[in-house]
Chain A
Amino acid sequence: MSTAVKDIPSQFEAMDQSLESQMTLSMGPQHPSTHGVLRLDLRLDGEMVIKAIPDIGYLHTGMEKLFEYKKYQQGIVITDRMDYLNPLGNNLAYVMAAEKLLGLEIPERAQVIRVLMCELQRIASHMVWFGTSCLDMGAMTPFWFTFKEREKILNIIESASGGRMTPSYFRIGGLMMDLPAGFENRVKQFLEGFPDALKTFDTLITGNTIWHSRTQGVGIISKEDAIDWGLTGPSLRGSGVNLDIRRANPYTGYETYDFEVPVEPDGDVWSRFMVRMRELRESHKIVRQALERLKPGPTKADAPKVVLPDRDDMRKHMDSLIHHFLIVAEGFNVPAGEVYLPIEGSKGELGVYMRSNGGPKPDRVHFRGPSFVNLSALPVMSEGEMIADVVAIIGSLDIVLGEIDR
Chain B
Amino acid sequence: MTEKLHEYVEKLKAENAEWVSEVKDALGEVTIVVPVESIADACKFLRNNLEFDLLADLCGCDRGPEEDPRFEVNYHLFSTIHHNRLRLKVLLPEDSPAVSTVTHIWRTADWHERETFDLFGVKFEGHPDLRRILLPSDFDGHALRKDYPLRGYEPYSMN
The answer to whether A312 has its CB under 8 Å from any CB of chain B is no
A-B pairs, 10 with minimum CB distance? A230-B108, A368-B57, A248-B83, A366-B59, A57-B134, A376-B111, A60-B134, A364-B61, A229-B108, A228-B107
Asked whether A65 and B150 contact (CB < 8 A) given A227-B53, A340-B57, A406-B134, the answer is yes
Partner among B27, B56, B112, B144 whose Cβ is within 8 Å of the Cβ of A339? B27
Asked whether A241 and B27 contact (CB < 8 A) given A373-B108, A376-B108, A405-B134, the answer is no
Asked whether A66 and B106 contact (CB < 8 A) given A243-B80, A339-B27, A340-B87, the answer is no
Q: Give the size of the chain B interface in residues (CB under 8 angstroms).
A: 39
**Can you report 29 A-B residue pairs in the complex whose CB atoms are below 8 A from each other?**
A56-B133, A57-B134, A64-B119, A69-B150, A227-B54, A229-B107, A230-B54, A230-B56, A232-B56, A243-B80, A248-B83, A337-B27, A338-B26, A338-B29, A339-B29, A340-B29, A340-B57, A340-B76, A342-B78, A351-B56, A351-B57, A353-B57, A364-B62, A366-B59, A368-B59, A376-B108, A377-B108, A405-B134, A406-B134
Interface membership of chain B positions 84-117, coded 1 if the CB is closer than 8 angstroms to chain A and 0 otherwise: 0101000000000000000000111011100000
A324 to chain B, nearest CB (A): 28
What residues make up the interface of A, taking CB atoms closer than 8 Å to B?
9-10, 56-57, 60, 62, 64-66, 69, 100-101, 227-230, 232, 241, 243, 248-249, 337-340, 342, 349, 351, 353, 355, 363-364, 366, 368, 372-373, 376-377, 405-406
**A residues near B148, Cβ cutoff 8 Å:** 65
Q: Which of B9-17, B36-44, B135-143 contacts A (4 or more CB under 8 A)?
A: B135-143
Q: In the bound complex, do residue A10 and residue B54 qualify as a contact, i.e. CB atoms below 8 Å apart?
A: no
Cα-based distance from A372 to B115 in the complex (angstroms) = 11
Q: In the bound complex, do residue A101 and residue B27 qualify as a contact, i.e. CB atoms below 8 Å apart?
A: yes
Q: In the bound complex, do residue A64 and residue B144 qualify as a contact, i.e. CB atoms below 8 Å apart?
A: yes
Q: In the bound complex, do residue B134 and residue A376 qualify as a contact, i.e. CB atoms below 8 Å apart?
A: no
Q: In the bound complex, do residue B133 and residue A10 qualify as a contact, i.e. CB atoms below 8 Å apart?
A: no
Interface membership of chain B positions 18-29, coded 1 if the CB is closer than 8 angstroms to chain A and 0 otherwise: 000000001101
Q: In the bound complex, do residue A100 and residue B27 qualify as a contact, i.e. CB atoms below 8 Å apart?
A: yes
A104 to chain B, nearest CB (A): 12
**B residues near A338, Cβ cutoff 8 Å:** 26, 29, 31, 74
Q: In the bound complex, do residue B27 and residue A9 qualify as a contact, i.e. CB atoms below 8 Å apart?
A: no
For chain B, residues 56 to 81, give those with C-beta under 8 angstroms from any C-beta of chain A.
56-57, 59, 61-63, 74, 76, 78, 80
Cα-based distance from A342 to B54 in the complex (angstroms) = 13
Q: In the bound complex, do residue A227 and residue B59 qualify as a contact, i.e. CB atoms below 8 Å apart?
A: no
